[in-house]
Amino acid sequence: MPSLQAGDFRSHRAFAEADTDRFWLEEASRLAWFKAPTRAKDLSQEGVAAWFPDGELNTAWLCLDAHVAAGQGARTALIYDSPVTGQKAQWSFEALRDRVARVAGGLAGLGVEKGDRVVIYMPMVPEALIAMLACARLGAIHSVVFGGFAGRELAVRIDDAAPKVLLTASCGLEADRVIPYGPLVEEALALAARPPKHCVVLERPEAVMALQPGRDHSWTAFEAGAAPVDAVPLAATDPLYILYTSGTTGKPKGVVRDHGGHAVALAASMARVYDTGPGDVFWAASDVGWVVGHSYICYAPLLVGATTVLYEGKPVRTPDASAFWRVMAEYGVKTFFTAPTAFRAMRKEDPEAALRQGYDLSRLKRLMLAGERCDPPTLEWLQDRLAIPVIDHWWQTETGSPICALPAEASWVPKIGSSGVPMPGYELAVLNEAGEPQGPGISGQLALALPLPPGTLPTVWGDPARFSEAYLARFPGYYDTGDGGYIDEDGYVFVMGRTDDVINVAGHRLSTGEIEEAVAGHDAVAECAVVGASDPDRGEVPVGFVVIKDGVNQPPESLEPALLSHVRQALGAFVYFRRAVLVPRLPKTRSGKILRSVLRDLLEGRPPVVPSTIDDVRIVEEIAEALAKTAGSDA
């Protein structure tokens, strides 16, 4: 695959703006199509693009067979590292191709064909990636559900996708516990109105899952007894997968991704954003159940002939805060991608990064952060300890790859607090409530002009009306990102968080992200979240939930006034930050996102709605106890 040349970014972005269709056809020409597209896109009445409509390809073939055909079959494709089991393994492109072809054959034997859906409910094991690629090889549409999701949540996704087959495992593993999947799967299948006819179970030694005759199949026998099948030629517009994301109605939205636009966008991002190509080692420390796992554990590294790392562990407690440093050094990772919450956990346990010593990170060239806005103290902590670019970038489940990032060129200098600049194909605008564009430095709603570039969602599965209502209705001609922020005079984008994280204090619209920055700037703070609480005089006031670093011995009765004073000095008295609740942990989803809705419910005295995605429900009780001990201060 031809690589982008250094110094190309500005010219490429200008090219994308001046002649969008020719730009993307040239980008598409970097892939090995079965039938190369001659048209860039077709547009719907709403301005939504169907990319490369006359092209044919197969994503799994591009990820595996294409490299084997090019004589690179012996190169390492996948590294599996599981500190929770003590297992390590590696597969070449040829060996991984062979396993994928057999599993695809097994699915075909169960009646799975092009266009059928397959739900994958698995932990971080190689078979999860093999399952995704096997579905793609057949033209089946996979829907990965985070392993360990509650049975009811799994049932909702099964009913929406209506799969022929469920691929699962007997259990998932955490640092200190085993999570049996059997009861969760049985609950889901009992609740589902449209359960699949077949379940294939990867049996792990840590837990036994009873197989139901006639429905369930052992993965080992299923794979071993299958005949390999070839990749099916697919239209570029054929769906590759459905990935469910949160919806305001409580019903998950099934984000659809196509084969062609997705492959083109991911390949381009590996060069422009991640500086990764053939033979490089790329590691995204996420989960296959989230979009990062789809894009940057499974598909993108393999598309460009890089080695991808699949890690079954945590940044801490497997065994300690050295875990990430160890993996990067052991496999020679060139580009590492994770969420800021991972490094905050490491910083909390090892504030001086003493455990980094002794690990050779000389091959690490780029560290990427996404999933949430990175607080400046964490960014600065990393920059002080790694003599490489540390890049906070911005994208969404719906976009599939970065909207904004810092190009992989030495001339681009990071700005703390910024997510970089828009990538080619993204026309980003800051709009006020009336949909009017705002000038540099003025905050508003971040929106993307239609049509969106390749790789972005073309619709919501089975519900095009919901797609229009959720993303297109608010600002005609734009996709509403749901995030607020501003663009500075140099064109750098500052994403301040979801617009429901903007609070109005006595007429002042304040970003909770800005207040969180100020709180996190205090030397004692490891992590924090700020939410708005109702106030009879000011409408809303900010309240901070603060996790203190290990080893800080200052008593809570003096820490809270110190934090309030610190924020007042940083932002001004008008912010009216009068309450900092010291908590042992923050409530988070398993992907690391802070559950601010739970914090708001606790503040308002409402019974919190605790979603099944929360990492540990016990934290809610701990926060409620901490709230009861502090009623605020006028410090």
- Give per-residue pLDDT as tens, 157-192: 999 999 999 999 999 998 889 999 999 999 999 999
Q: How far is CA 255 from CA 55, 94, 241, 467, in A?
A: 22, 31, 8, 9
| Confidence band for 230, pLDDT divided at 50, 70 and 90 | very high
SS3 letters across 472-506: HCCCCCEEEEEEEEEECCCCCEEEEEEHHHEEEEC
Q: Are the beta carbons of 302 and 77 closer than 8 angstroms?
A: yes
527-569 per-position pLDDT tens digit: 999 999 988 777 889 999 999 999 888 888 889 999 999 998 8
What's the rounded Cα separation, in Å, for the pair 362 and 334? 9
Q: Could you give the dihedral angle defined by the CA atoms of residues 431, 437, 441 and 445, in that order, rounded to the nearest 10 degrees? A: 10
Helix (H) or strand (E) holding 560: helix 556-571
Distance, in Å, from the CA atom of 562 to the CA atom of 548, rounded to the nearest integer, reads 13
What pLDDT, on the 0 to 100 scale, is given for residue 507? Answer: 63
Q: Is 110 helix (H, G, I), strand (E, B) or coil?
A: coil
Instruction: Let me know: does 83 contact 312? Beta carbons within 8 Å.
Output: yes
Q: Please say if the pLDDT value at position 633 is more than 60.
A: no
Q: Which pLDDT score, from 0 to 100, does residue 375 have?
A: 81
Gap between the Cα atoms of 46 and 56, Å rounded: 25
Of 473, 79, 426, the closest CA to residue 248 belongs to 473
Q: Is the pLDDT of residue 591 over 90?
A: no
Contacts of residue 335, defined as CB under 8 A and 6 or more positions apart, other chains included, come to 274, 275, 276, 280, 282, 283, 364, 365, 366, 367, 368
Tokens 């663009």 belong to residue = 487
Residue 250 has pLDDT above 60, yes or no: no
CB distance 181 to 171 below 8 Å: yes
* Residues 53, 69: Cα–Cα separation, whole Å: 26
Q: Is the pLDDT of residue 513 over 90?
A: no
For residues 167 and 147, what is the distance between their CA atoms, to the nearest angstrom?
Answer: 11
Cis peptide before 319 (omega within 30 of 0): yes
For 615, the token pair is 């990492």
pLDDT for residue 1 is more than 50 = no
Ramachandran class of 425: left when φ > 0, alpha when ψ lies in -120 to 50, beta otherwise:
left
Longest dimension (CA), the chain: 72
pLDDT for res 400: 97
| Residue carrying structure tokens 């019903």 | 251
Question: For the residues 443-463, what does the mean pLDDT come to?
Answer: 97
Instruction: Provide the β-strand partners of residue 199.
Output: 166, 216
Which CA distances in Å does 336 have to 146, 172, 397, 601? 22, 24, 19, 36
* Percentage of the chain lying above the pLDDT 90 cut: 75
* Local structure of residue 575 (DSSP, 8 states): G
Share of the chain above pLDDT 70, in %: 96
Cα 63–chain centre separation: 20
pLDDT, tens digit, for every residue of 71-85?
A: 999 999 999 999 999
Residue 403 above 50 pLDDT? yes
Local confidence band at 613 (pLDDT 50, 70, 90 cut-offs): low
Helix axes 596-603, 618-629, angle to 10 degrees: 40
Q: In sequence order, what DSSP letters do the residues of 326-356 get, joined into one string?
A: HHHHHHT-SEEEE-HHHHHHHHHH-TT-GGG
Is residue 508 over pLDDT 80? no
Domains of the chain (ranges; CATH) run 9-313+393-485 (3.40.50.12780), 509-629 (3.30.300.30)
Whether the predicted pLDDT of 495 surpasses 70? yes
* Long-range contacts formed by 182-187: CB under 8 A, 24+ apart: 182/207, 182/208, 182/209, 182/210, 183/151, 184/148, 184/149, 184/150, 184/151, 184/154, 185/121, 185/151, 185/154, 185/209, 186/151, 187/150, 187/151, 187/152, 187/154, 187/155
- Among 561, 317, 339, 503, residue whose Cα is nearest residue 546: 561
**pLDDT value, residue 411:** 83
pLDDT at 300 over 80: yes
What is the chain's mean pLDDT, rounded?
Answer: 92
In this predicted structure, what is the pLDDT of residue 55?
98
Any idea which of 98-102, 231-235, 620-624 has the lowest mean pLDDT? 620-624
Q: Is the pLDDT of residue 298 over 70?
A: yes
Q: How far apart are CA 614 and CA 104, in angstroms?
A: 33
Among 247, 304, 287, 229, which residue's Cα sits nearest to residue 59?
304
In whole angstroms, what separates CA 621 from the centre of its chain?
28
Burial 374-384 (b: 16+ CB within 10 A, else e): bbbbbbebbbe
pLDDT at residue 509 in the model:
66
**Of residues 246 and 490, more confidently modeled:** 490
Q: Which of 244-248, 498-502, 571-575 has the highest mean pLDDT?
A: 571-575
Question: Mean pLDDT over residues 58-67, rounded?
Answer: 98
Residues pairing with 179 in the sheet: 172
Lowest-confidence range among 269-278, 434-443, 606-615? 606-615
Residue scoring higher pLDDT (278 or 630): 278
pLDDT exceeds cutoff 50 at 497: yes
In this structure, are strands 41-43 and 49-51 parallel, antiparallel, or unpaired?
A: antiparallel
Whole-model pTM? 0.87
Residue that the structure tokens 């067979």 belong to: 65
Going 162 to 167 to 170 to 171, the CA torsion angle's sign is: negative
| 11/458 Cα distance (integer angstroms) | 27
Which two three-digit tokens encode residue 70? 């090019």
Distance CA 40, CA 454 (A): 9
pLDDT of amino acid 514: 80
Q: How far apart are CA 542 and CA 274, in angstroms?
A: 36
**Distances, alpha carbon 238 to alpha carbons 133, 261, 604, in Å:** 15, 10, 46
Task: Spell out the alpha helix ranges (H) of 350-468.
Answer: 376-385, 464-467
Burial class (CB within 10 angstroms; exposed 0-12, middle 13-18, buried 19+) of 532? buried
